[in-house]
Chains A and B, each alone.
Chain A
Amino acid sequence: MNKQITRVAGVAMALLVALIVATTYWQTWARPALAERQDNAIQRVAQFEIKRGLILSPSRVLARNREKRVGGRTFYFRRYPQGRLAAHVVGYSTAGRSRTGLERSLNPILTGSARNLSSLVNQSLDKLNGKPITGDTVVTTLDVNGQKTALEALGTTCGAVVALDPRTGRVRVMVSSPSYNPNDVESAYGRIEAIKADCTPASPLLNRASQGLYPPGSTFKVVTASAALDSHKYTTASSFYDPGYCTVYGKRVSNFDTERPFGNLTLATALQYSVNSVFCNIGLKLGAKRILKQAKAFGFYERPPLETPESERLPSGLYKGGRLYDPKRDSNVDAGRMAFGQERLLVTPLQMAMVAGTIGNDGILMRPYVVSKTVTPNGKTRARTKPSKIRRAVSPATARDVGAMMIRAVQAGTGTAAQISGLEIGGKTGTAETGVAGNNTTWFICFAGDPGQKPKLAVAVVLQNQSLTGGATAAPIARQVMQALLTPTANP
């Protein structure tokens, strides 16, 4: 029987070895993937024993820790001293409701798990000494003062404001209204659910600046004009005749706010006064694919790069049945309507700020970023964001011409409400009908800087449920934000 016993012993040993192998698999190979899962409650709780890194703006603390001892263990809970001012970008980190915003996407940095060998050694020493693991601090580019100005200007209106430096891509303001207080998420979620605003549902948790999709209306004319000039079929002086409408597939599409036809006019005047029929005809001539190609050069059809979670950033473009839609042929899309921002175009405020910024930056699209650097617990800089170029979206000449037309629109056109003395501002208004009368989505996108200099700021403002035009509603908000960020007294 001994031969059999030896074999059975072999089987028994093999079974137990299999258990060691399986344990090794879960504790080493599968460990990182399991730790990333949103339903991993153990990680979620365990991570509260880690002293998360701070999240800072250049001048303020946006997220810090509050120590609390529960049953002999120390937990670090998050506090957000700026409350609703930076809620959407910073997000929240809670035990009950997981994480959003930078708290989610930068979790490995904030918890110190994105480690190299030396920090691993330090952490092991800390662990043996009973010290908590401390994560890296994240410094953002947000201007709290600008955030405050933008949120206050928005008031109870649903909408968003994005302001960035077009020369570098540095995001300085990113707000979504209504906002919420991230300190309420864990303890008083009811308060967030009760938030009311001038739209239903109010969706305070939604980051409208990068997650909200809106019809761009006339702001899209900047893209169409860029495509037109880059095609060399048109110049700013190309002349058109405006009968007050444009004929698409035998149907008349009338201009938005005026039954009064302009008659003979140039492209520059058409952009200055936002004349739909002109852009409609340009669209029909260029075709949808040519215009969409230009839009893609501006960043449409891809998620705008930013450090926030991927799920909180949506790509802009044509949408069909809730999905991004890239037409195969020109005939699939109504190019005339699309040229002035209708058809099924949906865009995010972040994307439109990138469009305005690219025009202001001589046609070069910079990668937007909201994190300027990460710092180790000992105060050493671990990584610094270097501005980087995504691509040239339009030629310098086209950028200069479109920019000049936008400046005319602010000096004496639809965007006069954005004027600030001493600054050169180029902008474009937008008023997109939603089908319900007096219920428009209004826009203002612009760039601003010292006269004769490269613009220092690009802004996009979107407002929901407006009865007036973008020039009357959105442009003044853009003006306040520009003032807060560019006038020396407001921004020491």
Chain B
Amino acid sequence: MSARNRELLNLGFASLVASAAFASVSIVDTGLVNARWLGYVGVVFGLYLVAHVVARFTVPYADPTLLPLVGLLTALGLTVIYRLGPEDARRQAVWVAVGIGVLVATLIWLRYDYRVLERYKYLFGVSAVVLLLLPSVPGLGERVNGVKLWIKVGPLQFQPGELAKIFLIIFLAGYLRDKREALAQGRLKDLGPLLLIWGAAMLVLVQTSDLGSALLNFGIFLAMIYVATGRALYVAVGLLLFFGGSAALYNSIGRVQQRVTVWLHPWTEERVYCSISGKLDFRQNCDSYQLVKSLYSIANGGFGGTGLGKGTFTTVDGTQLIPYLNTDFVYSAIAQELGLIGAAGMLLVVMVLVARGMRIALIAQDGFSKLLAAGLTFGLALQTFIIVGGVLRVVPLTGITLPFVSYGGSSIVSNFVMLGLLLLISNRAAATAVEQ
């Protein structure tokens, strides 16, 4: 069977799973068995069919699992978001449409050779830094929940960090392919760029007080430099520098400090200073309110979950118990309603996606493609780890999105760009193999 036919078959399976999920939410919601959800599934998988058809023409040899796996994740995200608030789900569906549009555009634009991107690597590098710092420009940036991540132009809100991540990976792939021999020597003078990027990461951290995206971008950078040079020392030094720098900044950035305290001691037996109200209160009722409520939500799911649509997220009179449930905390909603089985299933889907991405990096022929695929894939894994690990109290909680699942336009669109690039790389690698 050809790669694209397998893709179509996989999409069929994904739509079956998604249909069951939508149907379940819809039935609980209305108390009736009806076919309203069919429209939803039809629209979403119609979009994926468009992507599939375009893929047939542009990337015929590409990996047949990527698109269906992403389809599964977005469908799961949409289901949970719909269950939490149908209005948001409609907007999210529009963003998925835009994302698939961008995916199609990427595929068509770069169908001959995506490696042209390498020529503009410095442009991408500079754009990434500009995008990261954009939210701190006065008058343009918006501070949401103490973190400057958004820019606002007229009615449009955008989180440039998501796109910056992909630009950064393209830049690093091009730059490291150029310099990898020199860097592999490990001479002191070649360490300059490393320090420069570390400095930039720290600057972004100070400017936006967002530990999550700083950690994500720096982690991607370390993984890529390791892939390029094979020197574990860089990783060790880099980690040391990052955590040393964060520790030094620990006292000056109150937000980071607060996040770490909440992470280490979410529950207190006595009343402590509450930074939200400025009064004394138990930490679980104040600074760590979100984290603790989200842990209760996860725990309530247990092994099998409450069932889609039957979880508890509001009080008896309908007040939300967990803030940011469909963005930062979407995992705790999934874990409650689908239980350990469903949450682990979702993570396994991500793992398969990561495994396929890494396989693409392995079979790619040239250094740029390998670095690009490995960087993008590791970014996906690390981002999942940072946000889900934050929700699970494995690492301090920082507000970034769960790729393809969380509510949020910028995130969805950027991730589809990533998917497009992976499809292009795998298509080229497989096509070369076929020619040989």
Give A contacts to B, CB under 8 Å. Answer: 1-9, 11-13, 15-20, 22-24, 26-28, 30-31, 34-35, 37, 39-43, 45-46, 48-49, 70-73, 75, 95, 127
Contact = CB atoms under 8 A, between A and B. Distances in A.
Interface in B299-332: 299-303, 306-307, 310, 312-318, 321
B378 interface: yes
Nearest to A186: B316
A210 to B, nearest CB: 24
Contacts of B393: 22
B385 interface: yes
Contacts of B367: 1
Contact of A1 (B28, B292, B370): B370
Interface string B278-310: 000010110000001101111111110011001
A30 B299 contact: yes
Given A8-B227, A23-B343, 10 more contacts: A8-B378, A12-B377, A13-B355, A18-B394, A22-B392, A23-B344, A27-B299, A70-B316, A72-B31, A95-B316
A22 B389 contact: yes
Q: Considering residues B285, B321, B361, which has the most beta carbons from chain A within 10 angstroms of its beta carbon? A: B361
Contact of B297 (A18, A20, A42, A48): A42
Given A5-B374, A45-B316, A13 B351 contact: yes
Interface string B254-266: 0000000000000
B316 A23 contact: no
B277 to A, nearest CB: 16
Secondary structure at the A interface, as helix, strand, loop or mixed, is: helix
Contacts of B388: 19
A31 B300 CA distance: 7
B436 interface: no
A220 B315 CA distance: 50
Nearest to B393: A22
B81 interface: no
B340 A45 contact: no
B382 A26 contact: no
Contact of A4 (B226, B284, B292, B302): B226
A26 B299 contact: yes
B239 interface: no
A16 B351 contact: yes
B312 to A, nearest CB: 4
Given A23-B298, A39-B282, A16 B223 contact: no
B354 A72 contact: no
Contact of B385 (A19, A42, A127): A19
A99 B71 CA distance: 45
Contacts of A42: 293, 296-297, 300, 312-313, 321, 336
A20 B347 contact: yes
A266 B347 CA distance: 84
B308 to A, nearest CB: 13
Contacts of B399: none
Nearest to A2: B362
Contacts of B336: 42
A70 B355 CA distance: 45
18 contacts: A1-B230, A5-B227, A5-B361, A12-B378, A15-B385, A16-B347, A19-B389, A22-B394, A23-B298, A26-B392, A27-B299, A34-B296, A39-B284, A40-B296, A41-B315, A42-B300, A43-B300, A46-B306
